[in-house]
Amino acid sequence: MITKEQAMGFKVGQVLEHIHFKNKDGTPRRCRVTGQVKCFDSSRASFHIPVKYGLFNCFFIDTHNAGEWNVPETEKKIGVPGCEAGGGCVYCSKPKPVLDPADEGSHDSLNEPMSE
Q: pLDDT tens for residues 41-72? A: 888 888 999 999 989 999 999 999 999 999 98
Q: Is the residue at 74 inside a domain?
A: yes
CATH code for the domain in which residue 65 is found: 2.30.30
Q: Judging by beta carbons within 10 Å of its beta carbon (0-12, 13-18, 19+), is residue 14 exposed, middle or buried?
A: buried
CA distance 99 to 73: 28
The boundaries of the domain holding residue 22 are 4-103
For 1-23, write each residue's pLDDT tens digit. Answer: 898 888 989 999 999 999 999 99
Q: Is the residue at 63 inside a domain?
A: yes
Q: Is the residue at 66 inside a domain?
A: yes
Q: Is the residue at 37 inside a domain?
A: yes
Q: Is the residue at 95 inside a domain?
A: yes
Report which secondary-structure segment, H or E, holds 18: strand 15-22
Indicate the number of domains in the chain: 1
Q: Is the residue at 116 inside a domain?
A: no
Q: Which has more confidence, 31 or 93?
A: 31
